[in-house]
Amino acid sequence: MPYLPAGFPDGAWLPDVVVDLGEQFASHSHELSLVGGPVRDLFLGRTSPDLDFTTDATPDQIIAAVSGWADAHWDIGRDFGTIGIRKGDATIEVTTYRAEAYDPASRKPQVQFGDSLAEDLVRRDFTVNAMALRLPSFELVDPHGGVKDLVAQRLRTPSTPEESFSDDPLRMMRAARFASQLGLDVDEGVRDAMTAMASRLEIVSAERVREELVKLICGAHPRAGVDLMVDTGLADVVLPEVPALKRTDDEHRRHKDVYQHSLQVMEQAAELETDDDGPVPGPDFVLRFAALMHDVGKPRTRRFEPGGGVSFRHHDVVGAKLTRKRMQELRFDKDSIKAVTRLVELHMRFYGYGDAGWSDSAVRRYVTDAGDQLERLHRLTRSDVTTRNRKKADRLAHAYDDLEDRISVLAEQEELARIRPHLNGEQIMEILGIPPGPEVGQAYRFLLEHRMEHGPVEPATAEKVLRDWWSAQE
């Protein structure tokens, strides 16, 4: 059953297993406290998806305390003092009081176990996460003013920012993430330390940096998080292509530089996400990150034209390559890399449609090239309009409405999502009397091209088209 401790706002709750676990540890003469994010989220009136506990018990003593009570436990995090526990539907982590520190030349934390809750809380990243509830009494322990900082929407560190970021440089990324997720203003001292120590982030593994970046982009205020990264120099380490945009005028010399334009596109793309039942449930990292990165090819392709204008020809292709390289360095999975880079590469494809219109074959190519990213591409393209010229904005919106209508009509007629050539490989070999080989692939590609240009045809027509093409090859 859900449980809400006294004094907390409605909207958040804790499972009864929290009380039960506290009593279990007390019966073994050990301290136990709910700590960090779950406590912070209680004050925000929301339920945390994670349950994190800290204790004076060692890993072996934790296992002894839960044996016979827990349904299962695992010690994959034993070296860091963490034991995982499953009780019913709840998954729990209990960690021995500790202090972490980074060796300047190492990517891995050196773990030292502590002796008290106070010692454990002072080593945590920020005051809003350095609060604990002693169990089973639910006594609040807040030695660093975390509640006051939450009310003031302020992000500070329990120790000095320099000490905190030396212990774990990834905390600088977390500061940007909390600015995005919780809308907190970063304390001036924290911001100064981030600026001075940004290069120290280089020792942190790409995987850990990536996870913080994803959470930041998917936050409620991603613009604030990205701005903080750029202003403090963290982005120069993590996403150097983004701060480079601040030094690039766009082709129309509008009121916004390319950097501000990209942030606005990201915000507008997020506004077009759907609920869980829609085609692009939010928060959607792929869409948001593609929006942020869609113009990163502009600094590399900027050209000053004779008439005084600026052009960025092929910045979409160059940007896709830069985005792919950056995501690979951050160890993103192949599917995410493919999806984001495809969107960056295609984000300019629509422009010109409103002036000249497209043939049905061009519409088919648009859908086929977008593939399973079509719904995201719709939203990215619409978001890429940030002009204050209302007539121009309306014209582009109406043109894209028309394109989507044509896609819908063709989709009903031709099943665009599954466009295939008129004939398959076996039929090609049978009609032409040829064995498997390169010629079959050439014929297949020719028929696919014909399908794109002319739409579906009857089997007899497809056979004639194939035979005529084959005769021309001889």
Write the CATH number for 78: 3.30.460.10
CATH of residue 270: 1.10.3210
Q: Say yes or no: 268 and 407 in one domain.
A: yes
What was the pLDDT predicted at 94? 94
Q: Say yes or no: 279 and 401 in one domain.
A: yes
| Residue among 185, 217, 215, 281 nearest 37 (CA) | 215
Name residue 122's amino acid: V
What was the pLDDT predicted at 404? 85
Burial 163-202 (b: 16+ CB within 10 A, else e): ebbbbbbbbbbbbbbbbbbbebebbeebbebbeebbebbe
Q: Say yes or no: 293 and 395 in one domain.
A: yes
Q: Say yes or no: 322 and 373 in one domain.
A: yes
Question: Is the CB of residue 37 less than 8 Å from the CB of residue 53?
Answer: no
Q: Is residue 206 part of a domain?
A: no
- List beta partners, residue 100: 111
According to DSSP, residue 200 is labeled G
Q: Is residue 168 part of a domain?
A: no
Question: Is the CB of residue 93 less than 8 Å from the CB of residue 83?
Answer: yes
What was the pLDDT predicted at 254? 46
What was the pLDDT predicted at 453? 72
Q: Where are the alpha helices (DSSP H) in 28-96?
A: 37-43, 59-66
Q: Say yes or no: 281 and 331 in one domain.
A: yes
What was the pLDDT predicted at 255? 42
Q: Say yes or no: 365 and 449 in one domain.
A: no
What was the pLDDT predicted at 407? 80
Reduced to 3 states (helix: H, G, I; strand: E, B; else coil), residue 86 is: strand
- Tally of CB atoms within 10 A around 70: 21
Domain boundary pick from 148, 182, 216: 148
| Residue among 355, 413, 342, 418 nearest 381 (CA) | 342
Taking each helix axis as running N to C, give the angle between helix 188-197 and helix 170-182, from 0 to 180 degrees, rounded to the nearest 10: 140
Domain boundary pick from 148, 172, 190: 148
Question: Is the CB of residue 296 less than 8 Å from the CB of residue 242?
Answer: yes
Q: Is residue 178 part of a domain?
A: no
Taking each helix axis as running N to C, give the angle between helix 360-370 and helix 334-346, from 0 to 180 degrees, rounded to the nearest 10: 150
Beta strands in 385-461 (DSSP E): none
Distances (CA, A) of 434 to 191, 462, 467, 470, 473: 70, 17, 12, 11, 14
Beta strands in 322-362 (DSSP E): none
Mean pLDDT by 10 residues, the chain (474 residues): 65 83 95 94 85 93 93 86 90 84 57 83 94 93 95 95 93 97 96 97 95 97 97 97 81 66 96 94 97 94 79 90 97 97 93 69 83 92 86 81 82 60 78 83 80 76 82 77
Q: Say yes or no: 247 and 394 in one domain.
A: yes
pTM: 0.82
According to DSSP, residue 359 is labeled -
| Residue among 451, 356, 363 nearest 409 (CA) | 363
Q: Say yes or no: 408 and 438 in one domain.
A: no
Name residue 77's amino acid: G
Question: Is the CB of residue 354 less than 8 Å from the CB of residue 399?
Answer: yes
**Which structural domain range is residue 457 located in?**
425-473
What was the pLDDT predicted at 11? 65
Domain boundary pick from 131, 148, 165: 148
Q: Say yes or no: 318 and 453 in one domain.
A: no
- List beta partners, residue 154: 185
Q: Say yes or no: 144 and 251 in one domain.
A: no
Question: How far is Cα 342 from Cα 327, in angstroms, rounded to an integer?
Answer: 13
Q: Say yes or no: 281 and 139 in one domain.
A: no
Give how many domains the chain has, as a whole number.
Answer: 3
Q: Say yes or no: 130 and 248 in one domain.
A: no
For residue 185, the surrounding DSSP H or E stretch is strand 185-186
Q: Is residue 383 part of a domain?
A: yes
Name residue 443's amino acid: A
In the numeric block, which tokens belong to residue 285?
């990292």
Question: Is the CB of residue 292 less than 8 Å from the CB of residue 242?
Answer: yes
| Half-sphere exposure in the Cβ direction for 329 (13 Å, CA) | 13
In the numeric block, which tokens belong to residue 33?
């406290």
For residues 448, 321, 268, 359, the Cα torsion angle rounded to the nearest 10 degrees is -30
> What contacts 53, CB < 8 A, 6 or more positions away?
21, 32, 33, 34, 35, 92, 93, 94, 95, 135
| Residue among 146, 147, 219 nearest 176 (CA) | 219
